[in-house]
Amino acid sequence: MENEIKQLASDTLNNKNNISYKFMGDIKNDLIQEYYALNQVDLFCNVSEYEGLPISIMEAMAYGIPCLATDVGGVSEIVNSQNGILIEKNSSSIQIKNHIETFILQSQEIKQSYIDKAISCWEIKFNCKTNFNEYIRLFKEN
Protein backbone atom coordinates (compact mmCIF):
# COMPACT_ATOMS: atom_id res chain seq x y z
CA MET A 1 0.00 0.00 0.00
CA GLU A 2 3.02 2.28 -0.32
CA ASN A 3 1.59 4.38 -3.14
CA GLU A 4 -1.76 4.79 -1.39
CA ILE A 5 -0.06 5.88 1.83
CA LYS A 6 2.15 8.37 0.00
CA GLN A 7 -0.88 9.79 -1.79
CA LEU A 8 -2.82 10.06 1.47
CA ALA A 9 0.12 11.87 3.09
CA SER A 10 0.36 14.23 0.13
CA ASP A 11 -3.37 14.95 0.11
CA THR A 12 -3.54 15.46 3.86
CA LEU A 13 -0.23 17.04 4.84
CA ASN A 14 1.21 19.01 1.93
CA ASN A 15 -0.88 22.09 2.75
CA LYS A 16 0.26 22.12 6.41
CA ASN A 17 3.02 24.65 7.13
CA ASN A 18 3.96 23.09 10.47
CA ILE A 19 4.37 19.51 9.25
CA SER A 20 7.15 17.97 7.23
CA TYR A 21 7.56 14.32 6.41
CA LYS A 22 9.76 12.06 4.38
CA PHE A 23 9.35 8.42 3.43
CA MET A 24 12.77 6.97 4.10
CA GLY A 25 12.28 3.38 2.98
CA ASP A 26 14.66 0.73 4.25
CA ILE A 27 17.43 2.28 6.37
CA LYS A 28 20.48 0.61 7.87
CA ASN A 29 20.46 0.46 11.65
CA ASP A 30 23.71 2.38 12.05
CA LEU A 31 22.16 5.36 10.24
CA ILE A 32 19.18 5.30 12.59
CA GLN A 33 21.52 5.19 15.59
CA GLU A 34 23.48 8.12 14.15
CA TYR A 35 20.28 10.08 13.61
CA TYR A 36 19.19 9.49 17.21
CA ALA A 37 22.60 10.58 18.47
CA LEU A 38 22.65 13.80 16.43
CA ASN A 39 19.00 14.90 16.49
CA GLN A 40 16.35 15.59 19.07
CA VAL A 41 13.49 13.14 18.76
CA ASP A 42 10.52 13.98 20.96
CA LEU A 43 8.54 10.76 20.69
CA PHE A 44 8.98 7.40 18.99
CA CYS A 45 5.68 5.92 17.80
CA ASN A 46 5.11 2.22 17.16
CA VAL A 47 1.49 1.30 16.52
CA SER A 48 1.98 -2.28 15.40
CA GLU A 49 -0.84 -4.76 15.71
CA TYR A 50 1.63 -7.57 16.51
CA GLU A 51 5.02 -7.45 18.22
CA GLY A 52 7.40 -9.56 20.19
CA LEU A 53 9.79 -7.52 22.29
CA PRO A 54 10.57 -4.67 19.88
CA ILE A 55 14.23 -3.79 19.57
CA SER A 56 13.25 -0.53 17.84
CA ILE A 57 11.71 0.67 21.11
CA MET A 58 14.74 -0.48 23.11
CA GLU A 59 17.01 1.45 20.76
CA ALA A 60 14.90 4.60 20.97
CA MET A 61 14.90 4.47 24.76
CA ALA A 62 18.67 4.02 24.80
CA TYR A 63 18.78 7.56 23.37
CA GLY A 64 16.24 8.88 25.86
CA ILE A 65 13.36 8.91 23.43
CA PRO A 66 9.99 8.30 25.11
CA CYS A 67 7.74 5.91 23.20
CA LEU A 68 4.10 5.69 22.29
CA ALA A 69 3.24 2.09 21.49
CA THR A 70 0.37 -0.34 21.26
CA ASP A 71 -0.07 -2.82 24.10
CA VAL A 72 0.71 -5.96 22.08
CA GLY A 73 3.18 -8.77 22.59
CA GLY A 74 5.96 -7.81 24.97
CA VAL A 75 5.61 -4.04 24.49
CA SER A 76 4.28 -3.54 28.03
CA GLU A 77 7.56 -4.96 29.34
CA ILE A 78 9.23 -1.85 27.91
CA VAL A 79 6.71 0.98 27.65
CA ASN A 80 4.74 2.25 30.64
CA SER A 81 3.21 5.50 31.86
CA GLN A 82 6.57 6.60 33.30
CA ASN A 83 8.63 6.38 30.10
CA GLY A 84 6.01 6.71 27.41
CA ILE A 85 2.44 6.04 26.44
CA LEU A 86 0.98 2.54 26.16
CA ILE A 87 -2.19 2.51 24.08
CA GLU A 88 -4.76 -0.10 23.16
CA LYS A 89 -4.14 -2.25 20.07
CA ASN A 90 -7.20 -0.97 18.23
CA SER A 91 -6.76 2.73 19.00
CA SER A 92 -8.14 4.98 16.31
CA SER A 93 -6.02 7.52 14.47
CA ILE A 94 -7.87 10.25 16.39
CA GLN A 95 -6.99 8.62 19.72
CA ILE A 96 -3.35 8.30 18.66
CA LYS A 97 -3.32 11.95 17.55
CA ASN A 98 -4.77 12.99 20.92
CA HIS A 99 -2.09 11.05 22.80
CA ILE A 100 0.66 12.66 20.72
CA GLU A 101 -0.81 16.14 21.22
CA THR A 102 -1.14 15.58 24.97
CA PHE A 103 2.48 14.47 25.15
CA ILE A 104 3.79 17.37 23.05
CA LEU A 105 1.90 19.92 25.20
CA GLN A 106 3.46 18.65 28.44
CA SER A 107 5.88 20.94 30.27
CA GLN A 108 9.59 20.48 29.58
CA GLU A 109 9.96 19.21 33.15
CA ILE A 110 7.47 16.40 32.56
CA LYS A 111 9.03 15.56 29.19
CA GLN A 112 12.43 15.39 30.88
CA SER A 113 11.01 12.90 33.36
CA TYR A 114 9.88 10.70 30.46
CA ILE A 115 13.36 11.00 28.92
CA ASP A 116 15.07 10.08 32.20
CA LYS A 117 12.75 7.10 32.74
CA ALA A 118 13.27 5.89 29.16
CA ILE A 119 17.05 5.87 29.64
CA SER A 120 16.69 4.24 33.05
CA CYS A 121 14.44 1.49 31.66
CA TRP A 122 16.96 0.74 28.93
CA GLU A 123 19.88 0.77 31.38
CA ILE A 124 18.18 -1.60 33.81
CA LYS A 125 16.49 -4.00 31.41
CA PHE A 126 18.27 -3.90 28.05
CA ASN A 127 21.81 -2.55 28.29
CA CYS A 128 23.89 -5.51 27.13
CA LYS A 129 26.88 -4.52 29.29
CA THR A 130 24.73 -4.41 32.43
CA ASN A 131 22.89 -7.60 31.52
CA PHE A 132 26.07 -9.45 30.59
CA ASN A 133 27.77 -8.55 33.88
CA GLU A 134 24.67 -9.55 35.84
CA TYR A 135 24.45 -12.82 33.92
CA ILE A 136 28.10 -13.60 34.72
CA ARG A 137 27.55 -12.72 38.39
CA LEU A 138 24.54 -15.03 38.62
CA PHE A 139 26.35 -17.76 36.72
CA LYS A 140 29.30 -17.62 39.16
CA GLU A 141 26.96 -17.81 42.15
CA ASN A 142 25.60 -21.13 40.93
Residue 111 lies inside a defined structural domain of this protein: yes
CATH number of the domain within which 126 lies: 3.40.50.2000
Residue 3 lies inside a defined structural domain of this protein: no
70 or 25: whose pLDDT is higher? 70
Residue 99 lies inside a defined structural domain of this protein: yes
Q: Does residue 136 register a pLDDT over 80? A: no
Residue 52 lies inside a defined structural domain of this protein: yes
- Its domain, for residue 84, covers 28-141
Kindly report the average pLDDT of the chain as a whole number. 91
Beta-bridge partner residues of 69 = 46, 86
Residue 17's pLDDT is: 85
* 42-83 residue pLDDT tens: 999 999 999 999 999 999 999 999 999 999 999 999 999 999
Domain count, the chain: 1
Across 99-116, average pLDDT:
96
CA–centroid distance for 25 within its chain: 18
Across 104-133, average pLDDT:
90
